[in-house]
Structure 1
Amino acid sequence: MTEFLQSLLTPFHYDYMLKAIGVSALIGGVCGFLSAFITLKGWSLMGDALSHAVVPGVAIAYIGGWPFALGAFIAGLLSAGTMAFIKAQSRIREDATIGIVFTTYFALGLVLISLYPAQVDLKAIILGNILGISDPDIIQVMVISAITLLVLGLKWKDLMLFCFDPNQARTIGLPTGLLHIILLTLLAATSVAALQAVGACLVVAMLVTPGATAYLLTDRFGKMILLSSGLGVGTSLAGAYASYFLNGATGGCIVTLQTLVFLGVFIFAPKHGILAARRRVATPGQP
């Protein structure tokens, strides 16, 4: 029994695992918090777009020897601005605009990577590199996370109303244009932070799955934020920890666990799960 417990504690004997678990939990919590707003706003495609659109910025940062986060953040803001400009200046639907912009940016990133293969770590961009994260990168993630949490904590009620009903928010005098920019900026910044943990391909899962899971568990937005953040932290901790024993990609383990939790809630949620819906159909009049 003692040997079994010691084996379970083995990951905590290594500094790289402690860093990976801690940073994953932080990123998971921030993504979970923001995920509640993305789910309410219906911006899952926007999260996917920004997570892929930062790739050229990351590639340029690698080539130029600049900070990883700086290139990704600038590319994220540029892509968000491009989407907003196209939407404002044309009749093209938002989903089509998102598809055009994020595939263009992602393609540009792939071109840069193919032109400078020796200077760009493709695996780190696509799959993340949380086990090899450096101390400066940890500081970057902590700063991004702190700013994101601070802004969300101060503005969550305004952002909630903006996400739920922009027209009502505009009617009562809220600066909806500014709130739109704030939410896009936070989404871009959080995508940059999550890129370190799970890579460009899986960022959207961390930004969407916790909020979607919490949405099935409660009808109150305040509680949804707490559940989503808690799910993000818990699954990121457990996924990073499990990746040591599975010898698998940390990001893949985290997102797979989040998906399993979502499927469980999707089936067994007491009010909005599949089984609950079937019980209501079988028993008419049941709330």
Structure 2
Amino acid sequence: MISDLLTPLHYDYMLRAIWVSALIGGVCGFLSSFVTMKGWSLMGDALSHAVVPGVVLAYMAGLPFALGAFVAGLLAAGTMAFVKTQSRIREDATMGVVFTTYFALGLLLISLFPARVDLKTIIFGNILGISDPDILQVIGISVVALVVLGLKWRDLMLFCFDPNQARTLGLPVRRLHLLLLALLSAVTVAALQAVGAVLVVAMLITPGATAFLLTDRFGRMMGLSSLMGAATSLVGAYASYFFNGATGGCIVTLQTLVFLVVFIFAPKHGLLASKRRAQLTTPPLDGSV
């Protein structure tokens, strides 16, 4: 039985998929804490779809698709910021209009040039077939993201928690905003390799949301989020061999299951704990104490 469990480790493509998935999951988990605190879940969804036309154009031009995705992500973020500052439209409506427009443009390009673009790779990812240049891109993005987050996490934490206080303390709020957008775009590009444009938003939100239910300290939240992101990505990629299913689907499904368990059983902020507190604070119907 042990030999059967070790079977995936006998294949180089599975080993590569497992450790690259763990790396991507850890970085996404780290950034997920800031996305959750800032309330940018829709922004992550927007960028994950908005990078599609950049990927398509990069494929058609023979360029690394990570370059096209990153440029498209920055353009989409810039478009959202421009529309928001120049109109009365709410931020959520702006994101919805912009990301659906970019995604529609990507699908149009795919339909016009179907032979030159692998739609399945863009939408669902292809971590099992990841090439050496793509691995280097993922490593480069991950290292840069981790270094920047490690150096600027306190400033970014304050910016996400209370931008007005950050501005009062003299922090460059606009630069921090752009920095977080750039990191979100870059990490989205890296995660596309593992789970594709459809599921990347889950890797950027679920670990942070799960950690948020487990602790009230942001530093501990970052550690838990990174750990859960890396562990679920590793186990999900490993399990996909036995299920013979999509690696991205296995990873995100596992992250969701972990979230549901924490949502119910978290010792302080879980559903059961909330019900117990409600019962303790609710007076009896007969008015007795």
Q: TM-score, normalised by structure 1?
A: 0.98
The amino acid across from 2:154 in the alignment is K
Q: Which of the residues 27, 30, 45 maps onto 2:27? A: 30
What letter is aligned with 1:131?
L
Residue 40 of structure 1 corresponds to which residue in structure 2?
37
Q: Where does residue 254 of structure 2 map in the other structure? A: 257
| Equivalent residue, structure 2, for 1:81 | 78
Q: Please state if 1:53 is matched with 2:46.
A: no
Which whole-Å CA distance do the structure 1 matches of 2:62 and 2:114 have between them?
14
Deviation (angstroms), 1:273: 0.4
Letter of the 2:177 partner, please give it.
Answer: H
CA deviation map 1:221-277 (0-9, x unaligned):
000000000000000000000000000000000000000000000000000000000
Matched position secondary structure for 1:202: helix
> What corresponds to 1:274 in structure 2?
271
Tell me the SS of whatever aligns to 1:219: coil
2:63 to 43, 62, 66: 66
Per-residue deviation, residues 21-48 of structure 1 (Å, max 9, x unmatched): 0100000000000000000000000000
**Per-residue deviation, 1:284:** 2.0
Superposition deviation, residue 283 in structure 1: 1.3
Shift of 1:154: 0.1
- 1:150-169 Cα offsets, whole Å, 9 max, x none, are 00000000000000000000
Corresponding position of 1:136: 133
Q: In structure 1, the residue corresponding to 2:267 is in which secondary structure?
A: coil
| TM superposition shift of 1:77 | 0.4
Q: Paired residue for 1:122?
A: 119
Q: Within 5 Å, which residues of 2 pair with 1:1-287?
A: 4-284=1-281
Separation in 2 of the partners of 1:54 and 1:22? 24
Per-residue deviation at 1:149? 0.3
Report SS of the residue matched to 1:283: helix
Partner of 1:118, secondary structure, is helix
The structural deviation recorded for 1:192 is: 0.2
* CA apart distance, 1:282: 1.2
CA–CA separation in structure 2 for the residues paired with 1:184 and 1:68: 19
- Give 5+ residue unaligned stretches, structure 2: 283-289
Q: Output the CA distance in 1 between the equivalents of 2:107 and 2:19.
A: 31
Q: Give the Å deviation of 1:210.
A: 0.1
Identity %: 77
Long gaps (5+) in structure 1: none
Letter in 2 for 1:129: N
Q: Aligned pair count?
A: 282
